[in-house]
Chains A and B, each alone.
Chain A
Amino acid sequence: MTDTLAPTLTDARGCPGLPRAEAALEAPAPGTPVSDPQAFVQRAVDGAARLELLVQGARCAGCMGKIERGLRAIAGVSEARLALSTGRLAIAFDPDRVAPRTLVETVQDLGYGAKPFDPAASQQEVDAEGRKLLVCLGVAAFASMNVMMFSVPVWSTMFGADMEVSTRTMFHWLSAMIALPAAAWAGQPFFISAWNALKRRRTNMDVPISLAVILASGLSIYETLHHGEHAYFDAVVMLLMFLLIGRYLDHRLRQKARVAARDLLALQAVTASVIGEDGSRRALALRDVQPGHRLEVLPGDRVPVDGVVRAGASDMDLSLLTGETDPVPVAPGQALRAGALNLSGRLELEATADSGDSFLAEIARLIETGEQSRSRYVRIADRVTKLYVPVVHSAALLTAIGWLLLGAEPRVAILNACAVLIITCPCALALAVPAVQVVATGRLFRAGVLVKSGDALERLAAIDHVVFDKTGVLTSGQPELVNRDAISNEDLAAAALLARASRHPLARVVARAAGPGPAAGNASEVAGAGVEATLEGARARLGRASWAGVVLDGSDGETELWFTRQGREPVRFVFADTLRSDAVAVVNALRQAGLSVEVLSGDRPAAVARTAAALGLKDWRAEQTPHDKAARLQALAASGKTVLMVGDGLNDAPALAHAHVSMAPGIAADASQSAADMVFQGAALSPVLTAHHVALQARARVRENFILSAAYNAIASPIAMLGLVTPMLAAIAMSASSLLVTLNALRLRGATGSEAEKGRQS
């Protein structure tokens, strides 16, 4: 950390972008496809090119500086800017001097995930609505502060200060000159929304707000004209200011969630490498691939659309499609589904479906039906609003009628009804939920959880059942060598010479177990079979049993590699997908919290049973298709359960969409990340626990805030109905209740975390 101060500041928080052990875990796994970004480069008129990337894992100034400097150091790159809050990186470069692929690889080499963006799916739209709210908020805040300059002297007369009536009226006029234009301008969002609701013969929260603002302004002008004592100009702008704070916070949360969701969608913009008649290759956006196109799939790439292998042999990783961890060998003539990961050899594929027709598209349709069922959820705030509006209106009306019946003159009756509208105006109510959600999502963001939909936390707080996928969620999704003790160091070192020459994931595990060292110079890889080399004059093979020359009596279903050398006993390497380090603790903690837990996997029964047993779970299902999983989730919902689904594979995506609330790890398939409500980063499973914990706390704070606002209204409304409210009292009550709910929301920030969260931080 030589060049900036920032990394030392953020180091303690465990920024994943820093070169530490943690960074290695967050970095894209070897073999993450670098889809050719050529198709997503935008050309400017002057010949310069622009590329937008979404960078994952950058969270501090150190990350930002490292990425921007690293890119600017490349000859031909003129500009690189990373926006930290969105993770969006804009690069301007000279297309003749730099290949776009180099840019993506540079960022990935620095240890961050980087993927090109489909500009069609995510136009750089300026958040116009957010700006409008911010400007309105600025105007309202300016007005409410400056009106106080005239209001406070007027109030001081209540404590015995002298003020002539003419001076008071002049102060009222000055207040009006500031407050009325400000209210007319800053009140627009409410007036427009209320008018739209009324046109459709409905009411919403903005109707009583607009009514209060207009009535209070009109009444204050009338009072001022008649040299009256009470003018509510200060209350009008202060009211708008508090409401706009709540509105702006709420908008920013929704906007953030919307951007996160849309970014993930844009990330699905993968390209396919199409082989032309003359053997040339060009990158084509996925939507332009037609059946019959001949595609090249290199090791490390994913199959872009459904197709049939025409040439080449390789092993495929289907874990995102089916949950199965063992690589599957493929040969010409075999059909492949979109999403399979090519591990070892180069393949030529003939597309049999276009992208709208492939397995991926079918998954997308399943997701859609799930999301429709979920959109029926009504947020707590909306339910409260439904109760609130009629109560306030009838209270104001009752006040006016009551005073008239008691023989008061109409001016007094309207004045008191107006006071009721102002005093019950939902300042605290409008802040109660957004303030809590801003604090809660901020805390989760720091814990590595990205909240993608506004009401996800509310839904998460209500769960009573948790469904886990196995591969990649409960387990790390990476095979580990399990019989290291049964292999002699000499055999391991010899096998590693061959293993280092291969990109196959099992070979990489062997190489990692042996530590760094040289690769055999004469090693050659036979795709779908193994690696061969000559060691000390003897032929050696590492790979499939049949290829290595081992005759087996029958398979015991373990994932294995065989290492044979001429004249020696064959050596067996056994692999298994190991549990995430804290999986047992997290599952136990969830069960202690009163939730039932179940495993739903596409993997073979033996593997699922072993995982379930290790976690002490009796409830598990294996060999589930995407349809089965979605159906199971629907059945659970029908039996009255509210379910949290945690899954990563493409095969989980429909289930994620059907669940009451869902989470996906950051290594998950893009479609699953889009379908999930929350995405968590890192090698640990504890963010699931943290999220649940924060969700429960957030719900508690929201409820307390509603109780606080209800209590405030219960005290303030009768006072207003009795006609005892003065402008000063209204101002104090309004700001006090708003401050109270905001402070209560901030308590979430300092609240002690769960055990698992503490463990992560220490």
Chain B
Amino acid sequence: MTAMFVLIPIALAMGFVGLLAFLWAVKTNQYDDLEGHGARILLKDYDDLPVP
């Protein structure tokens, strides 16, 4: 039972990190040109900057 008091916060914290990563991605325009960013990695002079 005591194991849960350790495991639950860890599980929640991991989920929360995922949520923060998602929010960061939305905030930095990474959802604005889904097709373009997907195709961009195939270019030789690839860069990962979002569209200005």
| Contacts from A to B (Cβ < 8 Å) | 3-6, 9, 60-61, 64-65, 69, 79, 81-86, 90, 126-127, 131, 134-135, 138-139, 142, 145-146, 149, 174, 178
Contact present for B8 and A149 (CB under 8 Å): yes
| Given A81-B51, A85-B34, A61-B26 contact (CB < 8 Å) | no
A-B pairs with CB below 8 Å: how many? 67
Contact present for A83 and B33 (CB under 8 Å): yes
A interface footprint on B16-52 (CB within 8 Å = 1, 0 otherwise): 1011001100100001111110011011110000011
User: 26 A-B residue contacts at CB 8 Å?
Assistant: A4-B42, A4-B43, A5-B42, A6-B42, A61-B39, A64-B39, A64-B43, A83-B51, A84-B33, A84-B35, A84-B36, A84-B39, A85-B34, A86-B33, A90-B51, A126-B32, A131-B26, A134-B26, A138-B23, A139-B19, A142-B15, A142-B19, A145-B15, A146-B11, A146-B12, A149-B11
Q: How far is A4 from B45 in the complex, measured between Cα atoms in Å?
A: 9
Q: How far is A127 from B18 in the complex, measured between Cα atoms in Å?
A: 23
- The interface residues of chain A lying within 8 Å CB-to-CB of B42 are 4-6, 9, 61
Q: How far is A65 from B47 in the complex, measured between Cα atoms in Å?
A: 11
What's the minimum C-beta distance from A55 to chain B, rounded to whole angstroms?
12
- The interface residues of chain B lying within 8 Å CB-to-CB of A6 are 39, 42-43
What's the minimum C-beta distance from A142 to chain B, rounded to whole angstroms?
4
Contact present for A83 and B8 (CB under 8 Å): no
- The interface residues of chain A lying within 8 Å CB-to-CB of B36 are 64, 82-85
Known pairs A9-B42, A90-B51, A135-B23; list 11 more (Cβ under 8 Å). A4-B42, A5-B42, A6-B42, A61-B42, A79-B52, A82-B36, A83-B33, A86-B33, A134-B26, A135-B26, A142-B15
Central interface residue in B18, B40, B43, by most chain A CB within 10 Å: B43
Q: How far is A212 from B15 in the complex, measured between Cα atoms in Å?
A: 26
- The interface residues of chain B lying within 8 Å CB-to-CB of A9 are 42
Chief secondary structure at chain A's binding surface: helix
Central interface residue in A138, A145, A149, by most chain B CB within 10 Å: A138
- The interface residues of chain B lying within 8 Å CB-to-CB of A90 are 51-52
- The interface residues of chain B lying within 8 Å CB-to-CB of A131 are 26, 31
- The total of chain B residues at the interface (CB under 8 A) is 24
What's the minimum C-beta distance from B21 to chain A, rounded to whole angstroms?
10
* Identity of the chain A residue whose Cβ is nearest the Cβ of B14 in the assembled complex: A146
* Identity of the chain A residue whose Cβ is nearest the Cβ of B21 in the assembled complex: A138
- The interface residues of chain B lying within 8 Å CB-to-CB of A4 are 42-44
- The interface residues of chain A lying within 8 Å CB-to-CB of B15 are 142, 145-146
- The interface residues of chain B lying within 8 Å CB-to-CB of A135 are 23, 26
- The interface residues of chain A lying within 8 Å CB-to-CB of B44 are 3-4, 65
**Which residue in B12, B16, B19, B40 is a CB contact (below 8 Å) of A64?**
B40
**Which residue in B11, B18, B22, B35 is a CB contact (below 8 Å) of A85?**
B35
What's the minimum C-beta distance from B12 to chain A, rounded to whole angstroms?
6
- The interface residues of chain A lying within 8 Å CB-to-CB of B39 are 6, 60-61, 64, 84
Q: How far is A126 from B22 in the complex, measured between Cα atoms in Å?
A: 18
User: Which 10 A-B pairs give the minimum distances between C-beta atoms?
Assistant: A84-B36, A61-B39, A6-B42, A83-B33, A142-B19, A61-B42, A84-B35, A85-B35, A138-B22, A65-B43
Q: How far is A61 from B44 in the complex, measured between Cα atoms in Å?
A: 10
What's the minimum C-beta distance from A108 to chain B, rounded to whole angstroms?
21
Contact present for A69 and B33 (CB under 8 Å): no
| Given A84-B36, A142-B19, A178-B12, A134-B31 contact (CB < 8 Å) | yes
Q: How far is A331 from B26 in the complex, measured between Cα atoms in Å?
A: 59
- The interface residues of chain A lying within 8 Å CB-to-CB of B19 are 138-139, 142
Q: How far is A90 from B43 in the complex, measured between Cα atoms in Å?
A: 18
What's the minimum C-beta distance from B14 to chain A, rounded to whole angstroms?
9
What's the minimum C-beta distance from A8 to chain B, rounded to whole angstroms?
10
Contact present for B33 and A85 (CB under 8 Å): yes
Q: How far is A127 from B52 in the complex, measured between Cα atoms in Å?
A: 15
What's the minimum C-beta distance from A256 to chain B, rounded to whole angstroms?
11
* Identity of the chain B residue whose Cβ is nearest the Cβ of A174 in the assembled complex: B8
Q: How far is A174 from B8 in the complex, measured between Cα atoms in Å?
A: 10
Q: How far is A131 from B30 in the complex, measured between Cα atoms in Å?
A: 11
* Identity of the chain B residue whose Cβ is nearest the Cβ of A65 in the assembled complex: B43
